[in-house]
Structure 1
Amino acid sequence: MSNKSSAPTSPTPSDILAASLATLDFTHVFYDVEDPLSLGMAYLSLVPQGLTIGYATLMLSRREMETFMMFAGQLANELINGIIKDIIKQERPNETFGQGYGMPSAHSQFIFFYAAYLTTWMYTRAIRFSAFKRAYRTVGLFILAILVSSSRVYLSYHTTEQVCVGAGIGTLFGVFYALFIGLLRDTGVVDWVLSWPLAHLFYIKDTCLDHESTIEMEYKRWQHVRQKQKIISKKKD
């Protein structure tokens, strides 16, 4: 009996489509379904993505100059992370997880920049904040940063060294950038940018240092207007 060699099969449209597909790493996180703690770590790993959405929401709704400047620093921080990764070219502990190189951890650099910037801002600019408010917010920010960074090690996306280096770079750049923004304020550069036609067009304002809580201020103003409306309504009756 003669053996017939099977003819090579041409790839199907499904095979071609599968070969061109890639996962969107923005929210794609692997975790162990048999480990309850692993799921919690996966949610913690999504905190930077949530903060990015928060930035976008605040910039669109509040139009505060401070938010725009802080987000610009966050983007610069990400650019620095990408440059360092391309220079070091250190692989992740598990090459199946994540895209790109692992040193330094982008997540830890992101979240420690966030914590360091806000802490520096509170201690150098938020003079209306009490010492207690500064202290507990600082502790909370860095606890969050440590938890998010730890999740990357726990989920095998990074080594401890990669996370620590990312945390160090993020902290140093966060402090430097906050001081740099303070210098821009003191030298009048921020006021100059706010005078641009584009800033007027999009109603960009700078009120973050005027009040301890903008939300509280707006709420009190709403209460005042509401009370006046009630008084007017009673007079009409």
Structure 2
Amino acid sequence: MVEHSVANENFFTESNKIEWQPLSLTLVEYPKGDLLGKFFAFMSLAPFGIGAGFVTLILFRRDLHTISFFLGTLVNEVINIILKHIICEARPLARGNLYNEYGMPSSHSQFVWFFSSYVLYFFIIRLHHINNNNIISLLWRVIIVGSCISLSLIVSAARVYLHYHTTSQVVVGAIVGIIFGTIWFTIVHRVFTPFFPQLVSLKFCEMLMIRDTTLIPNVLWFEYTTSRQEARARGRKMAALKPTQ
């Protein structure tokens, strides 16, 4: 019993000597009792939700354009890390010694504005051939693009409100995100897309069931009508196989 107590005491002594470092990637703090701060803290986690959505879409749809979009977000993060270590500007003093990493430019701001700018270009350029006279289609575009831009504004404001970044760090992050979003969409649209048909014909892509939906005007409507027709055809086939009474 005495040996057990001594062992526990030694364990806690050693634990107290260890310097614990918080994982800044997901850690978000807000002033206690501040509802707006709590809302901003939740909204600061939006990039991780978007990342999870990318993984889900890639696993279930396996579309080359979605994969290219996701690769762009990864390259965007690498650029942010490089810029931070080149500029070496610290975060606001109000955060104390919570973070050791630099704050210029804001990675959250750069991510959400890259995402929003890419989505904007996608709807304006990639989906330009969808019937614009359809009020429902037009309204759906406005809602999606407006939601992305609103989310970007909220996340950017949250990083300043919660003292994780200065205003200049957030603004620079937004500018870099928009610029790289423009560049990456141009690369995907002009350089990568023409090679998509050849890529999907490769044996490796066939094994992973990777597909190219570039030439399909409205993917959602195409998948909906295709699945409905297939379900009806199978239903008729099953009905024909049933023995007559």
TM tier relative to shorter chain: 0.7 to 0.9
1:201 equivalent to 2:229? Answer no
> Residue 78 of structure 1 contacts residue 110 of structure 1 at CA under 8 Å; is this kept in 2?
yes
Describe the superposition over 1:94-143 as per-residue Cα deviations: whole angstroms up to 9, x where unpaired: 24444510000000000000011111122111134455344443222111
Counterpart contact for 1:30–1:97, Cα < 8 Å? no
TM alignment of 1:215-230, pairs within 5 A = 216-230=221-235
In structure 1, distance between residues paired with 2:231 and 2:162: 51
* Contact 1:81/1:109 (8 A) holds in 2: yes
- Indicate the residue corresponding to 1:143 in structure 2: 150
Which residue of 156, 181, 186 corresponds with 1:179?
186
Once the two structures are TM-superposed, the CA of residue 231 in structure 1 deviates from its matched residue by 4.3
Equivalent residue number for residue 7 of structure 1: none
CA distance in 2, matches of 1:208, 1:34: 49
Q: CA deviation at 1:193?
A: 3.1
Which one has a larger percent helix, Structure 1 or Structure 2? 2
Residues 1:17 and 1:68: Cα distance change in structure 2 (over 3 Å): farther
Question: Which amino acid is the alignment partner of residue 87 of structure 2?
Answer: I
Instruction: Give 1:46's aligned residue.
Output: 45
Q: Compute the displacement of 1:24 (Å).
A: 2.5
Deviation of the 1:77 alpha carbon: 0.5
1:115 is matched with: 116
Please tell me whether the aligned partners of residues 104 and 166 of structure 1 are also in contact (alpha carbons under 8 angstroms). yes
CA distance in 2, matches of 1:151, 1:171: 19
Cα 1:233/1:141, change in 2 over 3 Å: same
**Contact 2:160/2:170, CA 8 A, preserved across alignment:** yes
**Residue aligning to 1:79:** 78
What pairs up with 1:28-39 in 2 under 5 angstroms? Answer: 28-39=27-38
State whether residues 88 and 103 of structure 1, in contact with CA within 8 Å, keep that contact through their aligned partners in structure 2: yes
Give unmatched runs, 5+ long, in structure 2: 1-8, 133-137
Distance 1:167 1:86 in 2: 18
How many positions carry a matched residue from both structures?
225
Partner Cα separation in structure 2 for residue 192 and residue 232 of structure 1: 36
* Equivalent pair of 1:126/1:209 in contact (CA under 8 Å): no
Native 8 Å contact 2:73 2:111 kept in 1: yes
Larger mean CA deviation between 27-36 and 222-231 belongs to 222-231
Q: Residue in 1 aligned with 2:177?
A: 170
Is the 2:121–2:185 Cα contact (8 Å) retained in structure 1? yes
Q: Which amino acid aligns with 2:123?
A: M
Q: Tell me, yes or no, if the aligned pair for 1:125 and 1:209 is still in contact at 8 Å.
A: no
Give distance in 2, aligned partners of 1:230 and 1:71: 38
Provide closer, same or farther for how the CA distance between residues 201 and 98 of structure 1 changes in structure 2, counting only shifts above 3 A: farther
SS in 1 for 2:31: coil
Flag structure 1 segments of 5+ consecutive residues without an equivalent: 1-10
The range that moved more, 62-71 or 100-109, is: 62-71
Q: Distance in 2 between matches of 1:79 and 1:205?
A: 27
Matched residue type, 2:42: Y
- Of residues 157, 164, 168, the one that matches 1:161 is 168
1:64/1:208 contact within 8 Å kept: no
- State the superposition RMSD in angstroms: 2.3
- The 8 Å contact of residues 115 and 138 in structure 1, kept in 2 or not, is answered as yes
Measured after TM superposition, the shift of residue 45 of structure 1 is 0.1
| Mapped contact 1:116–1:175 kept (Cα < 8 A) | yes
- Who is 1:4 aligned against? none
TM, length-normalised to structure 1 = 0.84
Q: How far has the Cα of 1:76 moved from its partner?
A: 0.7
Partner AA of 1:202 in structure 2: L
